[in-house]
Amino acid sequence: MDVPNLKMPAAGVRIFKKDEKVPKEVMKYQLDGIAITSCHAIRTTMLGDAVYLTMDSIGCIAAAISLGLVDKNQSSPLKGSREYTEIMKKKSGKGDSFIPPSPLKFTDGTVYACKDSKKEEFALFGKDDSGRYIKKGIARQAVSDMLSLQPPTTQGVFYLPSNFEDTKITPDVVILSLRPVELCRIIQGYQFLTGNRVRADVGGVRAGCSDLIVRPYLLGEINFSPYCVGARLIARFEGDRMGIGFPFSFLETIVKGTEESKTGFPFPDYPDACV
């Protein structure tokens, strides 16, 4: 980019299917006694720490559905404390009497339309929470457009930082956290060699799982997102950042295209390009 000290945080994501043997180099990054969301894992990895999430350690039921760790129609709640539903528990004031929502309650729209569903205990922001969608039917429609690895075939998801030393672990998807000016330049570099347009398919929830991981993984294409409520409030992605996800096989083309097109797209002259 020809800009000193420019930082573009990156994370690789490797999905291990149930019939695969997970390397011991990956297993050692399992979380012990804590369950975090996929977007939180992405953020942690971008800060330099690898994370391996399984059904026992993923802290967001929605991400567990998207990533194929649990059946979307499971009617019983996941066991153990989960980062996402612990927020519900705290806001509901129900304490130990709180029963977290099952995966099915996410799939059928109950959770995302908690006000319309008369399930205020599933609100993230207290009794005045509007929910993520105004009606349960609208929530179901939105969920149906969120790509997921269903039926569930995933054993675990490994989030590896860009400086991960074990080069035998190749990610399926790469995620970058960029300012819009950098996102612009990455897309220009990709198009320089391919001419292919990049189309964003985004929603207000499930950015750090469905939009940035599963969509590139399943469709073999680039997607970018303004992040979602969980990525902003739980993972704390900064307000000037957006996420872009693409298959690992695209990385060489993106890097090469960005380097070779420097004189055609003089990035240092872009407004706010320099930090």
Kindly report the three-state secondary structure assignment for every residue of the chain. Answer: CCCCCCCCCEEEEEEEECCCCCCHHHHCCECCCCCECHHHHHHHHHCCCCEEECCCCECCHHHHHHCCCCCCCCCCCCCCCCHHHHHHHHHHCCHHHCCCCCHHHHHCCCCCCCCCCCCHHHCCCCCCCCCCCCCHHHHHHHHHCCCCCCCCCEEEEEEEECCCCCCCCCCCEEEEEECHHHHHHHHHHHHHHHCCCCCCCCCCCCHHHHHHHHHHHHHCCCEEECCCHHHHHCCCCCCCCEEEEEEHHHHHHHHHHHHHCCCCCCHHHCCCCCC
Please state, in angstroms and rounded to a whole number, the distance separating the CA atoms of residues 245 and 201: 11
Burial of residue 95 (number of CB atoms within 10 Å: 0-12, 13-18, 19+): exposed
Per-residue pLDDT, 165: 79
- The answer to whether 100 touches 89, Cβ cutoff 8 Å, is yes
CA distances, 197 to each of 40, 166, 219 (Å)? 30, 33, 15
Please state, in angstroms and rounded to a whole number, the distance separating the CA atoms of residues 206 and 50: 21
- The answer to whether 249 touches 222, Cβ cutoff 8 Å, is no
Per-residue pLDDT, 32: 84
Q: Buried b vs exposed e over 42-56: b needs ≥16 C-beta within 10 Å?
A: bbbbbeeebbbbbbe
Please state, in angstroms and rounded to a whole number, the distance separating the CA atoms of residues 143 and 75: 17
What Rg, from alpha-carbon coordinates, does the chain have?
Answer: 19
Per-residue pLDDT, 163: 86
Per-residue pLDDT, 50: 95
Residues of the chain with pLDDT under 50: none
pTM of the model: 0.95
- The answer to whether 143 touches 107, Cβ cutoff 8 Å, is yes
